[in-house]
A = this chain, B = another copy of it.
């Protein structure tokens, strides 16, 4: 069970998981909770697993303060399937329209996919500024009759994050929170749907958490294919088919870690803000070498994206960092440069190590 050889892993997702959680998984992998089998080996309808499912759901409810107004589902298929399911459920069999904020690669893909499923308006686009900024609420073009306004709360590739919930009057928000889910509180009363694939802050890849306001379920047509209908999953308690049991188990452990060890979402949000500032401060101090992508006021506390002045320097940065145990710092293949993803589970010590490396790399190369 040695931990000595573990690196500080800045992967954008699947991403680092709290060491304590990994150690518990390891410890009980052959025999979960005295049931005589691994958590992977037991029926999803067994009392032992139902307890885990209920606990994971309660953990998410407790952390986000989710009222009875919303259901919490555990689905499969990632954000990509949500890109289709959301307009299929919320717009199908109606003349309704929906509005999308296009703030980066992921919300652009969501918008493109939605075009095939219904009447979609573009509320705002950051494409012309290369997705380095976000709209003020007054910038949004939002028809009064929009069924919902879609946005991605954090764009992993470009490293930008909404620090205030977009204002929409009473139009429900649909939020792709994949990359900052459980990293800070969310005003659930403003949201019709919040969804997230798990593999950034919440668990391993292969589970998608969908939180949906109950009244929106009335919009789902009975003619939708079974798996693609939110109502089916609500009625079957996320057991319409065999759920990804191991992933849900990890989500449960992570929720417990957030509640018991990290003090909940307000506390972890402070912790994350502090961690991010450690890196942004170096970027600002060494701005002749480190070129931050995002406009300052929209900087993400999850993904810090920056460029170095040339490709050779970028390669050396990545190689030298890896030799010091700071891994997965390469930027997304679509934009290049450096990306440091510092989700909940990245400890402050890891961020300090990266900060010190960045300072030293700057001194040695400028």
Residues of A within 8 A of B (CB): 1-3, 5-7, 9, 11-17, 19, 22-23, 25-26, 29-31, 34-38, 40-46, 76-81, 83-84, 88, 113, 116-117, 197, 199, 204-207, 223, 225-228, 240-247, 250, 325, 327-328, 333
Contact = CB atoms under 8 A, between A and B. Distances in A.
Contacts of A44: 14, 205
Contact of A13 (B14, B83, B242, B325): B242
Contacts of A37: 6-7, 9, 11, 16, 327
B30 A2 contact: yes
A227 B40 contact: no
A156 to B, nearest CB: 11
A83 B225 CA distance: 9
Given A11-B43, A14-B242, A204-B244, 11 more contacts: A5-B34, A9-B37, A13-B242, A16-B37, A16-B41, A19-B30, A22-B29, A25-B29, A35-B327, A43-B328, A44-B205
Contact of A14 (B9, B11, B43): B43
User: Which of A5, A12, A197, A206 has the most C-beta atoms of chain B within 10 angstroms of its own C-beta?
Assistant: A206
B116 A241 contact: no
Contacts of A30: 1-3, 6, 19, 22-23, 26
Contact of A36 (B1, B5, B45, B199): B5
A325 B36 CA distance: 8
A6 B23 contact: no
A244 B241 contact: no
